[in-house]
A and B are shown apart, each in its own frame.
Chain A
Amino acid sequence: MSLCLQARQLACERDDRWLFEGLDLDIQSGEIVRIEGPNGSGKTTLLKILSGQLTDYRGELYWNGEPMRQTREHFLANLLYLGHAPGVKAGLSPLENLAWYQALSGEEGSESAREAALAGVGLSGFEDIPAGQLSAGQQRRVALARLTLTQRALWVLDEPFTAIDRQGVAALEAQLVAHAQSGGCVIVTTHHALTESPVLRRIQLG
Chain B
Amino acid sequence: MWAFINKLRSPKWFYAISAKLQPLFWVAATLLLGVGTVWGLAFAPEDYQQGNSFRIIYVHVPAAFLAQSIFVSMAVSGLVFMVWKIKVADMAATVMAPLGAAMTFVALFSGAVWGVPTWGTWWMWDARLTSMLILLFLYLGVIALRGAFSSRDSGSRAASVLAMVGVINIPIIKYSVDWWYTLHQPATFTITGRAAMTMDMWAPLLMMVVGFYCFFIALTLTRTRSEILRREANKRWVRELAEEAN
Q: Are A15 and B234 in contact (CB under 8 A)?
A: no
| Per-position 1/0 for B53-71, Cβ under 8 A of A | 0000000000000000000
Asked if B194 lies at the interface with its beta carbon under 8 angstroms from chain A, I say: no
CB distance from B85 to the nearest CB of A (A): 8
Asked if A26 lies at the interface with its beta carbon under 8 angstroms from chain B, I say: no
Asked if A56 lies at the interface with its beta carbon under 8 angstroms from chain B, I say: yes
Report A-chain residues with C-beta under 8 Å of the C-beta of B153: 14-15, 56
A108 to B86, CA, bound (A): 43
* Majority secondary structure, A binding face: loop
A15 to B85, CA, bound (A): 14
Asked if B198 lies at the interface with its beta carbon under 8 angstroms from chain A, I say: no
Report B-chain residues with C-beta under 8 Å of the C-beta of A15: 151-153
Q: Which B residues between 118 and 153 are near A, CB-CB below 8 angstroms?
A: 151-153
Q: Are A14 and B151 in contact (CB under 8 A)?
A: yes
Q: Are B151 and A16 in contact (CB under 8 A)?
A: no
Asked if B239 lies at the interface with its beta carbon under 8 angstroms from chain A, I say: no
* Number of chain B interface residues as a range: under 10
A14 to B151, CA, bound (A): 8
| Per-position 1/0 for A1-30, Cβ under 8 A of B | 000000000000011100000000000000
CB nearest to A55 among chain B residues: B85
A16 to B87, CA, bound (A): 11
* Majority secondary structure, B binding face: loop
A24 to B108, CA, bound (A): 56
Asked if B231 lies at the interface with its beta carbon under 8 angstroms from chain A, I say: yes
A15 to B150, CA, bound (A): 10
A16 to B156, CA, bound (A): 13
Report A-chain residues with C-beta under 8 Å of the C-beta of B232: 16
CB distance from A17 to the nearest CB of B (A): 8
| Per-position 1/0 for A108-149, Cβ under 8 A of B | 000000000000000000000000000000000000000000
CB nearest to A58 among chain B residues: B85
A128 to B120, CA, bound (A): 70
CB distance from B195 to the nearest CB of A (A): 55
CB distance from B104 to the nearest CB of A (A): 30
CB nearest to A56 among chain B residues: B153
A16 to B228, CA, bound (A): 12
CB distance from B42 to the nearest CB of A (A): 50
Report B-chain residues with C-beta under 8 Å of the C-beta of A56: 85, 153
Report A-chain residues with C-beta under 8 Å of the C-beta of B151: 14-15
A14 to B232, CA, bound (A): 13
A122 to B76, CA, bound (A): 54
A56 to B84, CA, bound (A): 11
Q: Which B residues between 199 and 246 are near A, CB-CB below 8 angstroms?
A: 231-232, 234
CB distance from A110 to the nearest CB of B (A): 40
Report B-chain residues with C-beta under 8 Å of the C-beta of A14: 151, 153
Report A-chain residues with C-beta under 8 Å of the C-beta of B231: 16
A131 to B234, CA, bound (A): 48
A8 to B85, CA, bound (A): 19
CB distance from A20 to the nearest CB of B (A): 16
A153 to B231, CA, bound (A): 41
A56 to B85, CA, bound (A): 9
A111 to B10, CA, bound (A): 56
CB distance from A18 to the nearest CB of B (A): 10
CB distance from A176 to the nearest CB of B (A): 32
Report A-chain residues with C-beta under 8 Å of the C-beta of B85: 56
**What are 10 inter-chain pairs, A to B, with CB distance below 8 A?**
A14-B151, A14-B153, A15-B151, A15-B152, A15-B153, A16-B231, A16-B232, A16-B234, A56-B85, A56-B153
Return the 7 tightest CB-CB contacts between A and B, nearest first. Answer: A15-B152, A15-B151, A15-B153, A16-B234, A16-B231, A56-B153, A14-B153
Other 8 A-B pairs with CB < 8 A, given A14-B153, A16-B231: A14-B151, A15-B151, A15-B152, A15-B153, A16-B232, A16-B234, A56-B85, A56-B153
